[in-house]
Amino acid sequence: MSILDSMPDEPGEDSSPESSKPGNQPDIHQHLKRPQLKVDAPLRMVETAFLASTASLIWFINFYFPFGPVLRMFFPLPIALVYLRWGKRAAWMAAVTSGLLLAVLMGPVRSMLFVMPFGLMGVLLGATWHRRVPWIVSITLGMLLGTLGVFFRLWLLSVLSGEDLWVYVINQVTEIIEWIFLKLQILATPNVFVVQVGGMLLIAFNNLIYLFVVHLAAWLLLDRLGNPIPRPPRWVQILLDYEG
């Protein structure tokens, strides 16, 4: 018996009619394919870094060269745009990166004043817009976060300066309430509780107006960038004569 007769038959040389069909042959190319690189990964990293630096730059420019409310309305929008394009993890990374960049450029205190509330607000607005919730919900949540941000700023600056800055707010609110009482011809002096409640309501109302303006800016801007947010109430569209 020769050596060729003693060698086992190779599995690829099966002469049965079923194995000779092209459809039954194993697809060797599927096992030989190289793993393809995910194109989204570097694009996500580049856009996240770019928009995080954009948010930091807007805050930096507005701090040293304030233009009133023009740049202020764009503080949370770059991070919210990251959420709309790449999701929650990328948005948190953008907020942290913005804080770290501002900590290098301006110091940790001013960095914290940006992260709380505007960095967190960008993540919050991105989450609500991604889930297509109505404006009333996203504005209310943003207003609460913005109000907490104001109290955080007052607390932090009071600790650093050694003075209670809430007293200055109370004095301003007291003058406003006394002016209202004078116009209404109310012969009374507002007590401390009324003044403090009025100060909180004034801060909340200010943040309510701010969040509404931010939503308007995002509605007009992000639509043109291909990442639309939920449609505003009908009366807003009629007021601005905008067909969404």
Dump pLDDT digits (tens) for 81-130.
999 999 999 999 999 999 999 999 999 999 999 999 999 999 999 999 99
pLDDT, one tens digit per residue, over 32-46 is 444 444 667 888 899
Taking 70 as the threshold, does the pLDDT of residue 243 lie above it?
Answer: no
**If you count them, how many residues does the chain have?**
244
Q: Closest Cα partner for 117 from 137, 93, 98, 136? A: 98
Residue 160 in this model has a pLDDT that exceeds 60 = yes
50-71 pLDDT tens trace: 999 999 999 999 988 887 778 8
DSSP string for 110-173: HHHHHIIIIIHHHHHHHHHHHTT--HHHHHHHHHHHHHHHHHHHHHHHHHHHTS-THHHHHHHH
Query: What pLDDT does residue 241 have?
Result: 73
Rounded-to-integer distance, Cα 33 and Cα 159, Å: 61
CA 84 to chain centre: 9
C-alpha distance from residue 230 to each of 43, 51, 92, 168, 205 (Å): 25, 21, 22, 39, 23
> Model-level pTM?
0.79
Q: Say how far apart CA 232 and CA 238 lie, in whole Å.
A: 10
Long-range contact set of residues 56-59: C-beta below 8 Å, sequence gap at least 24: 56/98, 56/101, 56/102, 56/105, 56/114, 59/98, 59/102, 59/114, 59/118
At 201, is the pLDDT very low, low, confident or very high (cuts 50, 70, 90)? very high
Separation CA 238–CA 151 (nearest Å):
36
The pLDDT of residue 22? 47
- Report which residue type is found at 36: Q
**Residue 27: pLDDT above 90?**
no
Q: Are 70 and 58 in contact (CB under 8 A)?
A: no
Name the DSSP letter for residue 93: H
**pLDDT band at 19, cuts 50/70/90?**
very low
pLDDT of residue 38: 60
The backbone torsions φ and ψ at residue 164, rounded to the nearest 5 degrees and listed phi first, read -85, 100
